[in-house]
Amino acid sequence: MPHGMEERHEEGFKSGYLFVIAVEGAEAEPAYFATFQERQATDGRQIRVEVLSPSKTDGLSTPEDVLDRMDKRLRQGLRVDAGDELWIVFDVDHHTGEKVQKIADMAEETHYQIAISNPCFEIWLYWLLSDYSAEQAQTLRALEQGKRPKQMKTDYGALKHTAEQAYKPLRVRQIENLSDAIRRARESDTDSAALLPALPGTRIYRLVERLKQLCPDL
């Protein structure tokens, strides 16, 4: 159990699983993780997902801000049980390796788990719908680091627009394709011991795998 936390005994959740996920974005990440809210685990216990995100106007979206959000939530008296998990989710974006390493070290000290995306979270959303072609990946790698997130978001935006024209709602397809997205992310993660996932790549799959292991209908 992370340092400084007490066991959780709130009424209605004492026999469930809590996932607290601190994220950078105000829209994409909270909307996605809402998919997992209030589901039931294989053993009948409830899964509760709490997403800590910035407002659309406060601009607090750096990796440091993500870490601060989790720290603040704990200072507010969050209680956890042994099966609960605390995740820090952020993007490489334009940040230096030194900065990312610093945040990773601080998260490790407090026993938070980390899911980094390179260059950004939208690669996971893309993989939920389709493969990311070798040509697209080559174009992405050729760009300056600071321009990669915009390209990734442009690629995802085009794919999303096409997917929204299909007969199935986007959220339904995201659930149906979950195993494919995990496979794509795993195959891209050629050095799982490295701090950063490959470009393009994301460790979101590790968090989603944990949820999927608990939840029979994913």
Per domain, the residue ranges of the chain are: 17-214
Tell me the helices (H) and strands (E) count for the chain, helix number first.
Answer: 9, 6
The number of angstroms, rounded, from the C-alpha of 150 to the middle of its chain's C-alpha atoms is: 18
Taking 80 as the threshold, does the pLDDT of residue 129 lie above it?
yes
Place of tokens 């469930």: 16
* More reliable by pLDDT, 13 or 151: 151
Q: Give the C-alpha separation, 99 to 83, whole Å.
A: 30
Among residues 204, 216, 215, which one has the least CA distance to residue 29? 204
When pLDDT is cut at 50, 70 and 90, the band that residue 1 belongs to is very low
Place of tokens 């704990």: 74
- Residues with Cβ within 8 Å of 191's Cβ and at least 6 positions away in sequence, in order, are 198
Q: Give the C-alpha separation, 136 to 207, whole Å.
A: 25
Taking 70 as the threshold, does the pLDDT of residue 13 lie above it?
no
Least confident of 2-11, 24-33, 47-56: 2-11
Does the pTM of the predicted model rise above 0.85? yes
